[in-house]
Amino acid sequence: MFPAVNLDDAPGPVSDRVLRLSALICAVILTLAALALAQNVMTPVAFAIFIIALVWPLQRRLKSRLPQLVAVLITAAVALFAIGIGCWLIVWSFGRIAQWIITNSARLQGLYKHVADLLEQRGLYAAELIAEQFNMSWVLGVVRGVGGSLQGIVSFSVVIFIFVILGLLELEPLGRRLSQFGDGAVGAAAIDAAAEIAGRLQTYMLVCFGMSVLTGLGFWGFTTLYGLDLGREWGVIAFVLNFIPFIGSFVATLLPTIFAAAQYASLPSAVVMFVGLNVIQFVVGSYIEPRAAGAAVSLSPFMVLFAVFFWAMLWGIAGAFIGVPILIALASLCARNPATQGIAAALADRPVRDRTPR
């Protein structure tokens, strides 16, 4: 049906380019498929590498005063404690929201029924079907389901803790082996690239932490001044979810908006809440964060959005969190090779400096 194509008849350079491009596409597809299938293994490994890059300075300082094993254990314990605090904050805040819903379930069910009746009076007969499927019991079940799924993070954190300990113990021996590889130039370049990526990831997390604190305080202050219940909880949720770009910010804004509509039984109140919280997100994300981050974590907003959704598709919520650090590492590696600096420029939000090893 289709005419046969003989690559041998094509010019040599064209044939080689086609073969190389085909091999590259196949390798990328197979790699992505392997990453998706090996999610349960690769996700904690990726998180462990990310955490090692963040806590390595602490481990290095402790090692100068303590035995290596003790320094590694303390460093890993600090990382696990930080993860545990974040998980506890999420569970606590969603638990408080679920408790509020249970306490006010009768009033909320009545409000929901009233809205469904108003929609039906205006000819929206599908409202009755929606009311049957998405009632307050369904909402409460969703909240409980979120809290239950968060409990799985405990076992996930234990696996990460083990990988972090093993990785910290292996860092120095790996560095010595790399420095002795070949003439030492390749190993030195790899160590230099790893140090640069680690520095950029540390800057990224420091900026993320500061912006998350500002966002959480802004949400807390605005919801409290507006009189919305559970102001502290909304601030905590905004603080934690702000570490996931776009998706986390959207969820952190949408939940208080829905809650305001339910508490005040007023659409204008929900609109005011939505606009006010988005103004806070805009000021922090568009004005304060770029000036605090500088060139170290300057990335294209489109590529950040793509990375978040792409890795979320592969690895779920964990992928959404780790997507931007993977993008930062990829941009750093591309910037060090003259052949891939064009890719680095596409990933960055500003011109990329030449980091090619001299």
Task: Supply the pLDDT for residue 150.
Answer: 58
Q: In this structure, is residue 30 part of a structural domain?
A: no
pLDDT of residue 183: 65
The count of structural domains within the chain is: 2
Q: Which pLDDT score, from 0 to 100, does residue 309 have? A: 87
Q: Looking at the structure, tell me whether residues 110 and 213 fall in a common domain.
A: no
pLDDT of residue 221: 92
Instruction: Report which of 201, 176, 191 is spatially closest to residue 336, judged by C-alpha positions.
Output: 191
The range of the structural domain enclosing residue 90 comes to: 39-180
Q: Same domain, yes or no, for 146 and 247? A: no
Q: Is 50 helix (H, G, I), strand (E, B) or coil?
A: helix
Alpha-carbon distance of 46 to 311, in angstroms, equals 12
Concatenated DSSP letters of 261-320: HHHH--HHHHHHHHHHHHHHHHHIIIIIHHHHHTTTT-B-HHHHHHHHHHHHHHHTHHHH
User: What are the tokens at 356?
Assistant: 């090619």
33 token code pair? 């498929």
Which residues have C-beta within 8 Å of that of residue 260, sequence separation ≥ 6?
226, 228, 269, 270, 272, 273
Whether 161 and 76 have beta carbons less than 8 Å apart is answered as: yes
- Report pLDDT for 220: 93
Sorted by sequence, the CB contacts under 8 Å of residue 207 that are 6+ apart come out as 289, 292, 293, 297
Do the domain assignments include residue 132? yes
**CB-CB contact of 277 with 254 (8 Å):** no
Indicate if 212 and 121 belong to the same structural domain. no
Phi/psi at 121 (nearest 5 deg)? -65, -25
Kindly state whether residues 98 and 135 are assigned to the same domain: yes
What confidence score (pLDDT) does residue 193 get?
A: 81
* Tens of pLDDT, residue by residue, the chain (358 residues): 445 545 455 455 556 777 877 887 888 788 888 888 878 888 888 888 888 888 888 888 888 888 888 888 888 888 888 887 887 888 788 878 878 877 777 766 666 666 666 666 666 554 455 555 545 555 555 555 555 555 566 677 778 888 888 888 887 777 777 777 666 676 777 778 888 888 888 888 888 888 899 999 999 999 999 888 888 889 999 998 888 888 888 888 988 888 888 788 777 888 899 999 999 988 887 777 766 665 556 777 788 888 888 888 888 888 888 888 888 888 888 877 776 667 667 767 654 444 444 4
* Whole-number pLDDT of residue 222: 92
Structure tokens at 14: 């064209």
Report CA-CA distances (Å) from 147 to 28, 98, 135, 163, 259.
36, 9, 19, 26, 18
Question: 149 with 249, same domain?
Answer: no
Six-digit token pair at 337? 């090779």
Say what angle helices 185-226 and 317-335 make with each other, to 10 degrees: 140
| 347 and 209 in a common domain | yes
Q: Say if residue 203 is in the same domain as residue 171.
A: no
In a domain, 11, yes or no: no
Residue with tokens 């959480």: 216
If asked whether residues 251 and 288 sit together in one domain, one would say: yes
Q: What is the pLDDT of residue 108?
A: 67
In a domain, 256, yes or no: yes
Same domain, 209 and 358: yes
Looking at residue 100, its pLDDT comes to 80
CB of 240 closer than 8 Å to CB of 89: yes
The predicted structure's pLDDT at residue 354: 45
